[in-house]
């Protein structure tokens, strides 16, 4: 595959048969404009491409492709703005859009980087990438309605940082990205939604309802493939997660936990008990 070719809005077709779904994921990951990346991810039909699970690709420079803005800063440098002001509400929606931009990259990255998995693995993460692209577009459209755009506020790079740390170990990637960071989104979303309702932004609240619904599915996909790999490697799921969280310095998870969403996403009672150990209970 020629990684230097210019990015084109043209969507892969069978006539470009040398492209596999996995090589397309890498090409899309390299696109700098998040808007263009999201549009191309949403437009691509995976049934038009071979998956090629055994294809091994070299990591190109410039991963992930991302725009010049937003400016990336340390989390401590980000200002907290009152959500009751227009700028504060836009800042909150911008932070969510940035999470979705990263989430598109994470779903594409797991597809090209990790070979030799069943075809459903790649189709599952393609489905996730398409939903993350939709989430980004919904938030970007609402930011536009408020007079802002993605890139107008600084952002931090915590999500991609975890992708970097786990790029050599798929089990760690699954444990720490979908099962930790995305699952943390399940916990955080209801409170954010309520803040938006409290300032009268029903449109934003509706977008968060869509996101929460879809994210339960993403965490479920993470759980499914985490268990698949644990079974293959003859590992016990709860203690393996604790070991990986320690080894890869996962952020400590603090309650309240969204137990209903976590159960819907396939966490077992043993996993939820381990999660809540040392935490106030929030059933
Ligand atoms: Fe999302
Ligand atoms: Fe997600």
Q: What is the pLDDT of residues 136-190, one digit of tens each?
A: 999 999 999 999 999 999 999 888 999 999 999 999 999 999 999 999 999 999 9
Choice between 25 and 17, residue whose per-residue pLDDT is larger? 25
Distance from the alpha carbon of residue 58 to the mean position of ligand 1, in angstroms: 27
Cα–Cα distance between 185 and 156 in angstroms, integer?
16
Distance from the alpha carbon of residue 131 to the mean position of ligand 1, in angstroms: 6
Distance from the alpha carbon of residue 241 to the mean position of ligand 1, in angstroms: 23
Cα–Cα distance between 222 and 240 in angstroms, integer?
15
Per the DSSP assignment, residues forming a β-bridge with 150 are: none
Distance from the alpha carbon of residue 25 to the mean position of ligand 2, in angstroms: 16
Proximal ligand: closest to the CA of 107: 2
Q: What's the pLDDT score for residue 158?
A: 83
Q: What's the pLDDT score for residue 41?
A: 98
Distance from the alpha carbon of residue 225 to the mean position of ligand 2, in angstroms: 15
Q: What global pTM score does this model have? A: 0.91
User: What residue has token string 């006539």?
Assistant: 15
Distance from the alpha carbon of residue 15 to the mean position of ligand 2, in angstroms: 31
Backbone angles phi, psi at 193, to 5 degrees: -60, -45
Mean pLDDT for the stretch of residues 226-248 = 96
Summarised one tens digit per residue, pLDDT across range 35-82 is 999 999 999 999 999 999 999 999 999 999 999 999 998 888 888 878
Count CB-CB contacts under 10 A for residue 196. 21
Distance from the alpha carbon of residue 185 to the mean position of ligand 2, in angstroms: 8
Cα–Cα distance between 55 and 21 in angstroms, integer?
10
Distance from the alpha carbon of residue 3 to the mean position of ligand 2, in angstroms: 27
Cα–Cα distance between 147 and 141 in angstroms, integer?
10
3 has a pLDDT exceeding 60? no
281 has a pLDDT exceeding 90? no
Proximal ligand: closest to the CA of 218: 2
Distance from the alpha carbon of residue 18 to the mean position of ligand 1, in angstroms: 30
């Amino acid at each position: 595959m020629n990684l230097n070719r210019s990015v084109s809005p043209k969507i892969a077709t069978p006539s470009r048969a040398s492209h596999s779904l996995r090589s397309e994921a890498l090409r899309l990951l390299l696109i700098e404009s998040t808007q263009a990346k999201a549009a191309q991810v949403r437009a691509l039909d995976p049934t038009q491409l071979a998956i090629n699970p055994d294809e091994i690709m070299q990591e190109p420079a410039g991963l992930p492709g991302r725009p010049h803005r937003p400016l990336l800063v340390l989390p401590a440098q980000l200002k907290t703005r009152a959500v009751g002001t227009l700028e504060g509400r836009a800042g909150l929606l911008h932070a969510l859009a940035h999470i979705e931009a990263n989430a598109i990259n994470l779903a594409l990255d797991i597809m090209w980087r990790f070979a030799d998995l069943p075809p459903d693995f790649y189709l599952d993460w393609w489905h996730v990438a398409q939903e993350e692209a939709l989430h980004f577009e919904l938030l970007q459209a609402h930011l536009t309605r408020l007079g802002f755009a993605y890139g107008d506020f600084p952002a931090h790079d915590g999500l991609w940082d975890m992708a970097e740390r786990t790029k050599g170990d798929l089990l760690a990637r699954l444990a720490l990205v979908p099962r930790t960071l995305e699952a943390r989104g399940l916990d955080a979303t209801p409170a954010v939604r309520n803040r938006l309702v409290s300032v009268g932004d029903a449109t934003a609240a509706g977008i968060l309802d869509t996101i929460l619904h879809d994210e339960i599915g993403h965490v479920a996909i993470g759980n499914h493939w985490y268990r698949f790999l644990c079974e293959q490697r003859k590992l016990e799921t709860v203690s393996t997660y604790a070991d990986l969280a320690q080894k890869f310095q996962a952020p400590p998870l603090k309650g309240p936990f969204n137990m209903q969403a976590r159960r819907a996403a396939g966490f077992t009672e043993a996993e939820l008990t381990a999660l809540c150990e040392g935490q106030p209970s929030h059933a």
